[in-house]
């Protein structure tokens, strides 16, 4: 069985989510500082059979690039070079941060809405769930 990894990349912090072995359920994993992301991922890949990376692709509402879109393209290239054989998929991430804040609020953790690491991790989970659902 293989897993899929969801990534919500940010310039400071990156949220991560991982599926179960059957690739049915996406679960929040953690948020890591973006400057140590690749080191963390190398360790994560060593412990898990990850064959798919779902990378949130940021665009504006009208579909144009945002200030971070080019960074995500570069990250995609770096992931493809580092994890040969893993499929790297760009997944539309519009509105995931807003949806993540709603999930946190609905879960009774309104005081945690400003916990940006939690928002990033939930966003990564939503990106991965959207991919699994074929959205």
Domains of the chain: 3-133 (3.30.420.140)
Strands 26-33 and 3-8: unpaired
Q: What φ, ψ does residue 5 adopt, rounded to 5°?
A: -110, 130
The strand pairing partners of 108, in sequence order, are none
- 1-30: pLDDT as tens digits: 899 999 999 999 999 999 999 999 999 999
pTM above 0.95, yes or no: no
Strands 13-19 and 3-8: antiparallel
- 109-134: pLDDT as tens digits: 555 545 677 889 989 999 999 999 98
Q: What is the mean pLDDT of residues 57-83?
A: 94
């Amino acid at each position: 069985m293989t897993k899929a990894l969801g990534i919500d990349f940010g310039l400071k912090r990156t949220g991560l989510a991982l599926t179960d072995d059957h690739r049915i359920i996406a679960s929040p994993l953690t948020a890591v500082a973006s400057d140590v992301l690749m080191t963390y991922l190398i360790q994560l890949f060593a412990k898990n059979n990850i064959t798919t990376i779902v990378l949130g692709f940021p665009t504006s509402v009208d579909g144009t690039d945002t200030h971070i879109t080019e960074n995500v393209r570069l990250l995609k290239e770096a992931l493809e070079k580092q994890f040969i054989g893993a499929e790297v998929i760009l997944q539309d991430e519009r509105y995931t941060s807003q949806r993540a804040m709603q999930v946190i609020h609905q879960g009774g953790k309104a005081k945690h809405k400003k916990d940006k690491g939690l928002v990033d991790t939930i966003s990564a989970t939503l990106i991965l769930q959207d991919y699994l659902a074929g959205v």
